[in-house]
């Protein structure tokens, strides 16, 4: 299995631009999580899905952030418009029935 796949691995964009991060979960995993990691705030859960349905989005910082999971094989996290304080590493993780979350390699986002 290829594991959780995230793209792009690095993204540099200017303030105000739209950013879309992508995640392909491990086949058969029915939970998908989006996290953000920064030096100041550590690892934060933004939102998670179960069977493609958003269960808890209480960690999404602002309306500028949105996430979708149109099918079991794909999820996106979108920031529109982006701001410099959104600069962070964004991780996607997925989980099957054994409660173990498997993390992708992350997307390092830099907003200038």
Contact positions vs other proteins (CB under 8 A): 4, 31, 33, 42-43, 45, 48, 50, 55-56, 91, 93, 95, 99-106
Token match 């910082």: residue? 61
| 28, burial (CB in 10 Å: exposed 0-12, middle 13-18, buried 19+) | exposed
Up-side HSE of residue 47: CA atoms within 13 Å toward CB? 19
Shortest Å, Cβ 86 to other proteins: 19
Token match 């995230």: residue? 6
Shortest Å, Cβ 85 to other proteins: 19
Instruction: Choose between 9 and 18: whose C-beta lies nearer to other proteins.
Output: 9
Shortest Å, Cβ 91 to other proteins: 6
């Amino acid at each position: 299995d290829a594991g959780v796949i995230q793209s792009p691995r690095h993204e540099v964009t200017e303030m105000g631009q739209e950013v879309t991060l992508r995640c392909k979960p491990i086949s058969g995993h029915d939970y998908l999580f989006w996290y953000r990691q920064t030096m100041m705030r550590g690892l934060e859960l933004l939102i998670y899905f179960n069977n493609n349905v958003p269960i808890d989005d209480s960690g999404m910082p602002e309306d500028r952030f949105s996430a979708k999971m149109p099918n079991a094989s794909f999820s996106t996290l979108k920031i529109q418009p982006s701001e410099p304080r959104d600069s962070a590493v964004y991780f996607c993780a997925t989980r099957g029935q054994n409660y173990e979350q498997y993390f992708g390699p992350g997307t390092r986002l830099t907003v200038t």
